[in-house]
Structure 1
């Protein structure tokens, strides 16, 4: 499987001085889904279309982490791009993407940390444009630094999400229930933009990914007919 995040992972590995070893990485992982082979997720990758696009700005090691959910976004949304974030260097391909006339970029970030005149809570890209959601794929501490130190994003509206649920993500710990993983954020953006089918598919795929990943971690049997898998089946 080759998509934007997998290509960024390959590029990042080529620059590594020593091998990246994920926690619990003793068993071989599937190269395409990053889950231990006996719990492979590849047969559960959904197929759907979306009018929206996603641009992932990924902190240094995020593409290498098997728990990274930006990978799931790229699996589901064909128009997903991924760039490694650096404080002093901006890729020309990223700037060209942001300047392309078909897109209306939105930087997705909590409005409480932004000047009020930049904040929007809805998606209205205008005639002839498609929404491009820029997601900072990082820990919360890293994401705040990335937001402050990326002046090329200052000209874009900030989409502040107002979710009425708590995070369901179970693979990394957060001290706050209102901190969402990247795939959850993307699904909320898609729903706001009217891409409900893609949003539902991504949400269901995240739950199946979490089930397979935790099953592999704790050597639990998988029930492929359970409610989690049944929810994803209509999108396969």
Structure 2
């Protein structure tokens, strides 16, 4: 089994400093403490890492890391260079700031272009030419509800001098069409999957998308009293295995 990653460590830290147990829908479910799925649906043995030239930094709103429904951990499951921190309005984590300012990285905040502050650069695609001196792209994702994400962006001035990475309408529209969703909303892992694809790693993006789909079905089955589609988890596992195999062959 792969070792613990940044979100696992942040989960343990956040749980340790909590004054009371965190409760959420399905609170009576006996969960694996790594993937937070029901123990009998644990996916930890299926977790693999891709070879990526990209990095991610999750800035998580308060107790977001404690939520079993949070998909940010899925990014860290697959992408080795992933960092995670709890957001603080008044005292930004010093280690987080040091990573953002690390000369090996070129950070981009993934956020809609319409929220850009004055003179903030906006990119729809990221290629090696966008990262000066061969720096590694570091995608910063604000992980929380949409309202929380807006709050984090507006009240974090250290993000305002960084370029935004905003997906084009064509990219998001084609993704929504592929999902067949009536109301197009992205989970954190889906945002990262789009970022991987838009930054030149479509096979890794497809692997993360498949991992997310397996997570969603396993999560719903673990907390539902209704019988879900028979064989759905097995089918999604097969899709994930195939996507991961393709990603590893195309690294």
TM-score by length of 2: 0.85
What is the match of residue 173 of structure 1?
none
Change (3 A) 1:169 1:148: farther
Q: Which residue of 2 aligns with 1:229?
A: 237
- Structure number with higher helix proportion: 2
Where does structure 2 lack aligned partners over 5 or more consecutive residues? Answer: 246-251
Q: Does 1:16 align with 2:18?
A: yes
What's the counterpart of residue 205 of structure 2?
Answer: 199
CA distance in 2, matches of 1:92, 1:33: 27
Q: 2:154 aligns with which of 134, 144, 148?
A: 148
Q: RCO higher in 1 or 2 (8 Å CA, sep ≥ 6)?
A: 1
Q: Using the TM superposition, give the Cα deviation of residue 196 of structure 1 relative to its aligned residue in structure 2, in angstroms.
A: 1.9
The CA deviation at 1:179 is 2.7
Report what 2:92 is aligned to.
90
In 2, are the aligned partners of 1:46 and 1:205 still within 8 Å (CA)? no
Q: Shift of residue 227 of structure 1?
A: 3.8
Equivalents in 2 of 1:228, 1:169: separation in Å?
Answer: 17
Deviation at 1:232, TM superposition (A): 0.6
Which residue in the other structure is 2:145 paired with?
139
CA distance in 1, matches of 2:212, 2:117: 32
Q: Which runs of 4+ in 1 moved over 3 A?
A: 167-170, 219-222, 224-227
Choose 161-170 or 81-90, whichever is displaced more: 161-170
Alignment partner, residue 32 of structure 2: 30
Cα separation, 1, equivalents of 2:141 and 2:180: 17
1:59/1:137 contact within 8 Å kept: yes
Pairs aligned (count): 231
Pick from 122, 132, 135: which aligns with 2:125?
122
Taking structure 1 as the reference length, the TM-score comes to 0.90
Deviation string 1:31-79 (CA, Å, 9 cap, x unpaired) is: 1211111111123223311100000000001000000001101101110
Would the aligned equivalents of 2:29 and 2:223 in 1 still touch at CA under 8 Å?
no
From 195, 202, 217, give the equivalent of 1:189: 195
Contact 2:62 2:86 in 1 (8 A): yes
Cross-structure match for 2:55: 53
- CA distance in structure 2 between the aligned counterparts of 1:178 and 1:71, rounded to whole angstroms: 21
Contiguous gaps of at least 5 residues in structure 1: 171-175
CA 169–130 in structure 1, closer or farther in 2 if over 3 Å, else same = farther
For the Cα contact (< 8 Å) 2:117–2:160, is it kept in 1? no
Question: Does the 8 A contact of 1:102 with 1:129 survive in 2?
Answer: yes
